[in-house]
């Protein structure tokens, strides 16, 4: 005989802990993968989300239970299910809301990086260590959704900058810029560089939307939401979106 613990999940469907009661130290107010807030109860009926099963006097080390898509008490979809359904629908209809699709890729990017490290028998893998690795992996992921991806290599004008590849999605009039934070590229430097890049792309004839993807696995950016808000803009000439992931280190 035993009993179920409670599961805590972020609104994007990432599992935080399945031992919410037994190990309160693993609870998190925000998801460290994507920055979303977390729940442990159904938003519709308030029932606990079922977590790990604890046998009496047995320590379970089995794999964790999958995150459920619907509430078993009231039958309503959990918030993350609606997102999944919408992604499938967008792709089927092939009209693709680009910001929505890119958000899905960027939100999952850190999970993809971690998953790639889990190879059978420790075989060789793409381990994302620097900005070039981020570019290459992101390029591969974009191929799933976009047919015409044009890598644009250039050398930024800021001091000590090495050459970089951005991606032009010509049919979508969009440029995706990729950065990875490091000791010498924290919030202040990153903000300065992005301002220069934004000015540069305003002159680009094919760029109506600039999406800057910043990968910050080591948490050099202390206030990612603040930096995003400072730089995001809905300018008629060119929209700017900045996304820093993962958040909430
Ligand atoms: Zn999450
Ligand atoms: Zn419910």
CA of 49 to the centre of ligand 2 (A): 8
Same structural domain, 83 and 118: no
CA of 30 to the centre of ligand 2 (A): 21
User: Could you tell me which of 230, 244, 191 has the C-alpha nearest to residue 33?
Assistant: 244
- List the beta strands (DSSP E) in 63-217: 149-154, 164-169, 174-180, 209-215
CA of 113 to the centre of ligand 1 (A): 15
CA of 161 to the centre of ligand 1 (A): 32
Residue given tokens 């992996």 in the structure block: 137
In a domain, 102, yes or no: no
CA 176 to chain centre: 15
Question: In which band, very low, low, confident or very high, does the pLDDT at 28 lie, cut at 50, 70 and 90?
Answer: very high
Domain end, chosen from 62, 95, 128, is at 95
CA of 244 to the centre of ligand 1 (A): 13
Same structural domain, 72 and 130: no
- Check residue 73 and give left, alpha or beta (phi > 0: left; psi -120 to 50: alpha): alpha
- Check residue 83 and give left, alpha or beta (phi > 0: left; psi -120 to 50: alpha): alpha
Distance CA(106)–CA(40), nearest Å, equals 25
CA of 79 to the centre of ligand 1 (A): 12
In a domain, 58, yes or no: yes
* Res. 91: pLDDT tops 70: no
Q: 163 is written with which tokens? A: 């050459």
The closest ligand to the CA of 72 turns out to be 2
- Span 26-33, mean pLDDT? 92
Distance CA(193)–CA(17), nearest Å, equals 37
Task: Kindly report the number of other CB atoms within 10 A of residue 32's CB atom.
Answer: 15
What residues have their beta carbon closer than 5 A to ion ligand 2? 42, 44-45, 71, 73-74
The closest ligand to the CA of 48 turns out to be 2
In a domain, 79, yes or no: yes
The total number of structural domains that make up the chain: 2
- Span 52-77, mean pLDDT? 83
- Span 156-169, mean pLDDT? 85
- Are 67 and 84 contacting, i.e. CB atoms less than 8 angstroms apart? no
Q: What is the pLDDT of residues 109-130, one digit of tens each?
A: 999 999 999 888 888 888 899 9
CA of 232 to the centre of ligand 2 (A): 36
* Res. 230: pLDDT tops 90: yes
Same structural domain, 236 and 162: yes
In a domain, 22, yes or no: yes
Sign of CA dihedral 116, 145, 231, 31: negative
Task: Kindly report the number of other CB atoms within 10 A of residue 24's CB atom.
Answer: 9
Task: Kindly report the number of other CB atoms within 10 A of residue 102's CB atom.
Answer: 25
Range of the domain at 26: 1-95
Distance CA(115)–CA(50), nearest Å, equals 25
In a domain, 101, yes or no: no
* Res. 51: pLDDT tops 70: yes
Task: Report yes or no on whether pTM surpasses 0.75.
Answer: no
Q: How confident is the prediction for the chain on average, in pLDDT?
A: 89
Question: In which band, very low, low, confident or very high, does the pLDDT at 168 lie, cut at 50, 70 and 90?
Answer: very high
Please give the pLDDT value at position 60.
Answer: 63
Same structural domain, 234 and 126: yes
CA of 185 to the centre of ligand 1 (A): 25
* Res. 59: pLDDT tops 80: no
User: Could you tell me which of 206, 245, 203 has the C-alpha nearest to residue 227?
Assistant: 245
The closest ligand to the CA of 70 turns out to be 2
Same structural domain, 89 and 115: no
Same structural domain, 71 and 149: no
Residue given tokens 């989300």 in the structure block: 49
* Res. 221: pLDDT tops 70: yes
CA of 190 to the centre of ligand 1 (A): 24
CA of 202 to the centre of ligand 1 (A): 33
What residues have their beta carbon closer than 5 A to ion ligand 1? 10, 12, 14, 31, 33-34, 36
Same structural domain, 77 and 116: no
Among 138-142, 161-165, 174-178, the range scoring the smallest mean pLDDT is 161-165
Same structural domain, 144 and 232: yes
């Amino acid at each position: 005989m035993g009993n179920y613990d409670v599961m805590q999940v972020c609104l994007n469907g990432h599992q935080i802990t399945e031992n919410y009661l037994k190990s309160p130290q693993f609870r998190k107010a925000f998801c460290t993968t994507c920055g979303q807030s977390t729940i442990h109860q159904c938003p519709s009926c308030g029932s606990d989300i079922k977590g790990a099963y604890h046998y009496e006097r047995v320590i379970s080390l089995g794999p964790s239970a999958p995150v459920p898509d619907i509430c078993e008490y009231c039958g309503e979809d959990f918030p993350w299910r609606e997102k999944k359904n919408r992604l499938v629908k967008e792709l089927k209809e092939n009209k693709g809301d680009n910001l929505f699709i890119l958000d899905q890729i960027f939100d999952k990017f850190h999970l993809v990086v971690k998953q790639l490290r889990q190879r059978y028998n420790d075989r060789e893998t793409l381990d994302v260590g620097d900005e070039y690795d981020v570019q290459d992996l992101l390029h591969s992921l974009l191929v799933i959704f976009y047919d015409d991806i044009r890598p644009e290599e250039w050398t930024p004008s800021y001091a000590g900058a090495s050459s970089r590849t951005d991606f032009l999605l010509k049919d979508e009039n969009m440029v995706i810029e990729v950065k990875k934070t490091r000791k010498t590229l924290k919030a202040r430097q990153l903000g300065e560089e992005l301002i220069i890049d934004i000015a540069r792309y305003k002159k680009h004839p094919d760029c109506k939307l600039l999406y800057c993807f910043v990968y910050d696995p080591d948490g050099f950016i202390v206030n990612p939401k603040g930096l995003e808000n400072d730089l995001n803009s809905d300018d008629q000439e060119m929209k700017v979106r900045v996304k820093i992931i993962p958040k909430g280190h």
